[in-house]
Amino acid sequence: MSPGDAPPATGLSGQALVRRYGGVTALGGVSIDVPPGRITALTGPNGAGKSTLFRCLSGAERPDAGQVLLDGRDITRLPEYTRARLGLARTFQQLAVFPGLTVADNLRVGAEQAGRLGPRAADFSVARTLRQLGLEALADRPAALLPTGTLRLLELGRALAADPTVLLLDEPAAGLDAEETELLAALLSALAEDGRAVLLVEHDRELIDRIAHRVHTMSAGRIDAAVEATAAERPADEERATAEERAADGR
């Protein structure tokens, strides 16, 4: 790497994160890596600390101790909007779409508000995101008229339109029917194959087992187990290995 080059993409990492609310220790020193090219899942019972960890990683909350790193850079003290400009995007469990705006305009807000894309790149990103989500026919429809499943896909699209390198997804499958879940699974796998780092906080174990490369299980503010998905000699892994071999050969 020559001076001035961007640092190597290592993704997002939380290190020894602690968060207390009064007497409750929501995070008791949690470490997690969310590397590029992989879907990292986080699961566990209600109250385990998943949302708190998610908020500390996204920047919605500051941890009391520990660090958050993005491609090796310490972003622990950076606010959400600065993290967004650096390539971090998140979705909300409570949907954050604007009901009065059309589908396309919701995506445009997502594309522009992170401050990563100029107007032309934002246009391109809106068109690409409509295509990726299969929402082209609904582009001019006000979000208020859409059913929950479609709104949830739009919520994902809002994050995706900013062309992030790291995507933090809070229960993206909640409220989706089987067909929409299928579309979501294929889309998330494609995003990881494309080199993005994806964190999936999810209760849908079947979805996790199908698409995640690594599954972290939390309880009582700790990560109990991090299991490499066994079915996971997935295409993304093979492609990354080939890309790494090519890079090592200087090809």
Ligand X SMILES: Nc1ncnc2c1ncn2[C@@H]1O[C@H](COP(=O)(O)OP(=O)(O)OP(=O)(O)O)[C@@H](O)[C@H]1O
- Our CB check for ligand X shows the closer of 20 and 210 to be 20
Q: Which of 187, 178, 182, 179 is nearest to 156 (CA)?
A: 187
Residue 5 half-sphere exposure toward CB, CA atoms < 13 A: 6
Segment (H or E) for 28: strand 24-34
Residues 6+ apart with CB under 8 A from 41: 199, 200, 201, 202, 208, 212, 214, 215, 216
Which of 2, 46, 94, 230 is close enough to bind ligand X by CB under 6 A?
46
The stretch near ligand X (CB under 6 A) out of 50-58, 116-124, 130-138, 157-165 is 50-58
Which of 13, 43, 51, 150 is close enough to bind ligand X by CB under 6 A?
51
Handedness of CA 139, 142, 145, 146 (dihedral sign): positive
Which of 24, 65, 186, 231 is close enough to bind ligand X by CB under 6 A?
24
For 186, the token pair is: 């294929």
Q: Is 17 a residue that touches ligand X (CB under 6 A)?
A: no
Which of 14, 36, 38, 50 is close enough to bind ligand X by CB under 6 A?
50
- Report how far residue 35's alpha carbon sits from residue 213's, in angstroms, rounded to the nearest whole number: 10
The stretch near ligand X (CB under 6 A) out of 46-54, 101-109, 116-124, 154-162 is 46-54
The contact mask relative to ligand X for 54-93 (x = CB under 6 A, - = no) is: ----------------------------------------
- Our CB check for ligand X shows the closer of 52 and 189 to be 52
- Our CB check for ligand X shows the closer of 21 and 251 to be 21
Strand duo 197-201 + 166-170: pairing: parallel
CB of 217 to ligand X, least distance (A): 11
Which of 9, 18, 28, 47 is close enough to bind ligand X by CB under 6 A?
47
Q: Is 21 a residue that touches ligand X (CB under 6 A)?
A: yes
- Report how far residue 87's alpha carbon sits from residue 221's, in angstroms, rounded to the nearest whole number: 27
Which of 17, 30, 48, 75 is close enough to bind ligand X by CB under 6 A?
48
Q: Which of 18, 27, 50 is nearest to 199 (CA)?
A: 50
For 228, the token pair is: 């490499």
CB of 40 to ligand X, least distance (A): 16
Q: Which residues bind ligand X (CB under 6 A)?
A: 21, 24, 26, 44, 46-52
